[in-house]
Amino acid sequence: MSTSNEPSFRESVDIMFNRAVALLDLPPGLEEKIRVCNATYTVRFGVRLRGKIETFTGYRSVHSEHMEPVKGGIRYSMGVNQDEVEALAALMTYKCALVETPFGGSKGGLCIDPREYEEHELELITRRFAYELAKRDLINPSQNVPAPDMGTGEREMAWIADQYRRMNTTDINGAACVTGKPINAGGIHGRTEATGRGVQYALREFFRHSEDVKIAGLTGKLDGKRVVVQGLGNVGYHAAKFLTDEDGAIVTGIIERDGALISDDGLDIDAVHAWIRKHGGVANYPNAEFVENGASVLEKECDILIPAAMEGVIDMTNADQIKAPLIIEAANGPVTAGADEILRKKGCVIIPDMYANAGGVTVSYFEWVKNLSHIRFGRMQRRQEEARHQLVVDELERLDRYMGDAWSMTPDFKAKYLKGADELELVRSGLDDTMRQAYQDMRALWHDRDDVDDLRTAAYLVAITRVAGSYRAKGL
């Protein structure tokens, strides 16, 4: 619930941008050029459904073309409007610069509640929307490449790719017109999990720096940390699952549309996820306490709060009640500019959206490269790598025989060492490297500059400096 002096989502992004850009010495006018959204296309189209024509409104916003193609998801939600799409497109510009993916920023949205439609109806609507965008080059492998976002996934991306190819039958790079596709339609292993996986890698990197952990008033590693997650969709589910299964974190709260579940012993992520899929919400889930006012659980005592649903959920009305010392913004824009100020004053550390959820665009970049190179990652090297490892293992086995009982290989060393990396391992490795590097770029400014006292400002500074560099190189 926002108050009247709460800025809109786009204003929030601009306020955060302005706070950071004031610390840079950019040539006159360049600041404005970077901040403004280049263009937003609005389309209204009709689709014949259930015996009558229904009109839909969609948007595709291009924030910055300092690099092309521009990149950004397509969202299906009733909340979609021009302000939201432009804010998300701006965030994409900064996000791509921060994680060094060679794209400008874009975003799209369709004002629709996908749960109200049958699959074949959604296909008709998606194909028509894709047609409207593709014919204006707002879907195009070299100019504008969408991806999934709230309310869309692999299925919609496959329809979009197919629609583009029907319209461009001789474009050999057609598959690269959209990312987040299923494997059998040119996708890449690890894309669906990528954003949640990136949240995990971001937290792991944060916890590698004990100095930063201390600023948040925490100690130790992720093991045993109490986590509250809002939104158990694509991003929230994967983040929660990996943090509990692989890092020993305990999810004590899950907030969904219809309420929240809490359990101090920890919630079973897969069981809750399966329950939501079957029943459409968390109500009546048997092994936890149900809280009808879900948003109130954002204020629950915990170590890490992961808003992974939508924007503006932490605003000036509830920021003061938030108890988590560390917030990682898995969603885009979950903390308004007003709330950000209140939380910073309280000493809460916020790992900002443009970094925290950049795993999606990072793996989308890998998928786009895979599509353009027409070959799966690892296909050429994998067996050669295994053959070289075999040489070492043969030599170690020879030593083993020679040394007798004095030395032997650990039992599973051979199997682990021999195995060459497959696409999923390479994708995860590339993602981990990206998340680590971007965190280090942000934290260097956070710690080195006296006028930078939060990670968000640091993230904007890294991003704006890179975008400004591209504009300068173009002679602007």
Q: What is the number of other CB atoms lying within 10 angstroms of the CB of residue 344?
A: 17
Binding mask 341-360 for ligand NAD (x = CB under 6 A): ----------------x--x
Distance CA(462)–CA(441), nearest Å, equals: 7
Instruction: Tell me the C-alpha distance between 130 and 15, whole Å.
Output: 33
Catalytic status, residue 135 = no
One residue of 97, 150, 272, 427 binding ligand NAD per CB under 6 A = 150
Compute the least distance from the CB of residue 79 to ligand NAD, in Å.
9
Report d(CA 400, CA 408) in Å as an integer. 6
Task: Decide: is 232 part of the binding site for ligand NAD (CB under 6 A).
Answer: yes
Minimum separation from the CB atom of position 15 to ligand NAD (A): 19
Q: Output the smallest distance, CB 359 to ligand NAD, in A.
A: 7
- Return the SS3 of 166: helix
Q: Which position's Cβ is nearest ligand NAD?
A: 233
Examine residue 148 and tell whether it contacts ligand NAD (CB under 6 A): yes
253 lines the binding site for ligand NAD (CB under 6 A): no
Helix 119-134 vs helix 154-167: angle between axes, to the nearest 10 degrees?
A: 50
Contact positions with ligand NAD (CB under 6 A) in 324-343: 330-332
Only segment of 16-24, 118-126, 284-292, 303-311 that touches ligand NAD (CB under 6 A): 303-311
CB-neighbour burial class of residue 336 (10 A; exposed 0-12, middle 13-18, buried 19+): buried
Single residue of 216, 267, 310, 461 touching ligand NAD by CB under 6 A:
310
Told to check if 234 binds ligand NAD by CB under 6 A, we report yes
Question: Would you count residue 233 as binding ligand NAD (CB under 6 A)?
Answer: yes
| CB of residue 234 to ligand NAD, shortest distance in Å | 4
Of 95, 107, 241, 300, the catalytic one is: 107
192 vs 452 by CB, closer to ligand NAD: 192
Give the nearer residue to ligand NAD in terms of CB position, either 215 or 336: 336
- Stretch near ligand NAD under the rule CB under 6 A, chosen from 23-31, 120-128, 143-151, 262-270: 143-151
Q: Does 149 bind ligand NAD (CB under 6 A)?
A: yes
Cβ distance to ligand NAD smaller for residue 228 or 250: 228
Output the CA–CA distances (angstroms, integers) from residue 145 to 105, 214, 470, in the order listed.
10, 40, 20
457: left (phi over 0), alpha (psi -120 to 50) or beta: alpha
Please report the sign of the dihedral spanned by the C-alpha atoms of residue 286, residue 289, residue 293, residue 294: negative
Asked whether position 251 contacts ligand NAD by CB under 6 A, the answer is no
Q: Under the criterion CB under 6 A, does residue 315 sit at the interface with ligand NAD?
A: no
DSSP character for 374? T
| Residue 265, both tokens | 């012993």
From 23-31, 62-70, 208-216, 234-242, give the range in contact with ligand NAD by CB under 6 A: 234-242
Smallest distance from the beta carbon of 231 to ligand NAD, in angstroms?
3
288 contacts 267 by C-beta, under 8 angstroms: yes
- The C-alpha atoms of residue 8 and residue 87 are separated, in whole angstroms, by 9
How far is 298 from 301, CA to CA, in rounded Å? 9
The dihedral built from the CA positions of residue 211, 461, 5 and 82, taken in this order, carries a sign that is negative
Decide: is 438 part of the binding site for ligand NAD (CB under 6 A).
no
Which of 136, 166, 208, 257 binds ligand NAD (CB under 6 A)? It is 257
User: Measured between alpha carbons, how far is 419 from 147 in angstroms, rounded to an integer?
Assistant: 32
Query: Shortest approach of ligand NAD to residue 286 CB, angstroms?
Result: 19
Output the six-digit token pair for 142.
Answer: 């070299």
| Cβ atoms of residues 216 and 305 within 8 Å | no
In what side-by-side order are the strands of the sheet with 289-291?
289-291, 259-262, 250-256, 226-230, 304-307, 326-328, 349-351
- What is the binding site for ligand NAD (CB under 6 A)? 148-151, 195, 230-236, 255-257, 294, 308-310, 330-332, 357, 360
Active site residues: 107
